[in-house]
Amino acid sequence: MELMYVANDVRHIGLNFHIYLRKRMPNSREFPEIENDRWQKIQHRLESSFKWMPDHRFEWNDLNHVNKPHNFYGIHLKGGVTCYRSDSIKKVQVIYDHASDERVVDQVIKLFNKNSAKGKNRVGLIQMSYGTLNVKFVEYRPYKLEITPFLGEEIAALKKEMLKSFKDETKSGLYLIHGKPGTGKTSFLKELLNETDKQALFIPPSVAGELGNPNLISLLMDHPSSILIIEDAETVLMKRKADNSDAVSSLLNLTDGFPSDILNLNIICTFNTDIGDIDPALLRKGRLRAIREFKALDVEHSRKLADKIGSDVEVNREMTVAEVCNGDEQFAAFTGHHGIGFNNN
């Protein structure tokens, strides 16, 4: 019991338990929305189908800040895999490290994949926690209105090309999307994700520099054939210097190196810098599948967008998507204010 309270956050108890037993920094997979009835069935499968030692299992009940009971459960399986769940966060963490038995890791992950509800409008946020990278899947608000018809023929052609490529499991590569803030880049990406069945992973700017982290390949191997979105990606796109060389080199390998053959990723980077600042190796034909600039809408398309959303903004010049939609409450979901983090583009 004292060991469990070493963690000052219930989300990290499973990680701490694994580190205590294995003396290694782990990776983890998270499976959200595992309700109690489904969890009880999975828990029974874990305890009856895998080998584990009696002192490698813990379970206790506690009261939260409103005196509501919560259950905390953890089990460390032979093979170096830890599973942890708390009622308060309603998700299961599957925790393992580089020396864990890959067969056991795969079996446990398949168990949760089979029993987890994979809904649409979900994206995995890659984050850094206790020195290791992990993925947290969250939902974002879908759009009722397509933005692409207002962005011009080039952007419409890009969307069509990307969706076609996503359906081909043998195709991977790099897409670069750039333009000033507010020109619709993020709105376009959310619309794109709504129209594909591929799993999407999102790297926020604060974690973009971790592309050179050796743990990233291990994490991505659990999510092959995904769409990897790196927003505000200047750090990993700029010409190589001492402070970003590892990140740029890692991106090169992910798009056209040996790891790309294993992971088969479609990588989308957004940026606001000048194209001339991009490392030339990233622009090589074969690696780069497309590059498009998002611009302000011309007067005609600005008016059409304003009419479509019922905005009373005065349109007498070229305007960005953000300018047309600014202040329009009924369009708040479309502009991303209730989204998952990539909100203002």
Q: How far is CA 202 from CA 126, 243, 254, in A?
A: 6, 22, 15
pLDDT value at position 84? 94
Q: Where are the beta strands (DSSP E) in the chain?
A: 27-32, 52-63, 69-77, 81-86, 91-96, 122-129, 132-139, 173-179, 200-203, 227-230, 266-271, 288-294
Least confident among 26-35, 80-89, 199-208, 293-302 = 26-35
**pLDDT, tens digit, for every residue of 224-262?**
889 999 988 888 888 877 566 777 888 888 887 777 778
- CATH code for residues 4-117: 3.30.310
- DSSP labels for 138-197? EE-PPPSS-SGGGS-HHHHHHHHHHHHHHH-TT--EEEEEEESTTSSHHHHHHHHHHT--
**Cα distance between residue 55 and residue 76, in whole Å:** 9
Contact status, residue 223 vs residue 124, Cβ threshold 8 Å: yes
For 145-167, write each residue's pLDDT tens digit. 889 999 999 999 999 999 999 98
Percent of the chain with pLDDT over 90: 36
Average pLDDT score over the chain: 82
**Per-residue pLDDT at 345:** 46
Look at residue 129 and tell me whether its pLDDT is greater than 80.
no
CA torsion angle 294 300 301 305 (round to 10): 140
Instruction: Record the tokens describing residue 325, joined without a space.
Output: 């939609």
List residues bridging with 124 in a β-sheet.
137, 201
3-state secondary structure of 92: strand
Residue entry with tokens 């828990």 = 43
Strands 52-63, 27-32: pairing is unpaired
| pLDDT surpassing 70 at residue 28 | yes
Q: Return the percentage of the chain with pLDDT > 70, whole number.
A: 85
Which pLDDT value is given to residue 213? 81
What global pTM score does this model have? 0.68
Q: How confident is the model at residue 43 (pLDDT cuts 50, 70, 90)?
A: very high
pLDDT for residue 11? 67
Largest CA distance in the chain: 73
Helix, strand, coil share (%) of the chain residues, nearest 5: 40, 25, 35
> Comparing 113-117, 163-167, 170-174, 179-183, which segment has the lowest mean pLDDT?
113-117
The predicted structure's pLDDT at residue 10: 67
Whose tokens are 């994979």? That residue is 118
Tell me which of 228 and 275 has the higher pLDDT. Answer: 228
120-345: CATH superfamily: P-loop containing nucleotide triphosphate hydrolases (3.40.50.300)
CA-to-CA dists, residue 288 to 136, 176, 280, 313, angstroms = 28, 8, 11, 38
Name the 3-class secondary structure at 25. Answer: coil
DSSP 66: T
Q: What is the pLDDT of residue 134?
A: 80
Q: Residue type at 146?
A: E
Read off the pLDDT band of 74 (50, 70, 90). very high
pLDDT over 90 at 30, yes or no? no
Return the domain boundaries, the chain: 4-117, 120-345
Main-chain phi, psi angles of 265, to 5 degrees: -95, 145
Residue with more model confidence, 92 or 330: 92
